[in-house]
Amino acid sequence: MANTKKVALITGANKGLGYEMARQLAETGITVVLAARDQSKGDAAADKLKKEGLDVQFLKLDVTNEKDREEAAAFLEKNFGKLDILINNAGIAADGIAGTSVSATTEQSLHDTFETNFFAPIELTQALLPLLKKSPAARIVNMSSILGSQTLHADPSSPIYGFKSLSYDASKAALNSFTIHLAYELKDTKIKVNSAHPGWVKTDMGTDAAPMEIPEGGKTGVALALLDESGPSGGFFHLGQPLPW
> Catalytic site residues?
168, 172
Torsion of CA 151, 153, 157, 159, to 10 degrees: 110
3-state secondary structure of 68: helix
Closest CA to 87 of 170, 175, 22, 148: 22
DSSP tag of 167:
H
Residues 6+ apart with CB under 8 A from 137: 84, 190, 191, 192, 229
In order of 16, 42, 56, 146, 230, the CA distances from 193 in angstroms are 22, 26, 23, 17, 13
Cα–Cα distance for residue pair 17/203, rounded to 1 Å: 7
Beta bridge partners of residue 142, listed in sequence order = 88, 195
Spell out the alpha helix ranges (H) of 106-192: 107-114, 120-132, 150-153, 166-185
Beta bridge partners of residue 196, listed in sequence order = 143, 237
Closest CA to 103 of 151, 164, 171, 172: 164
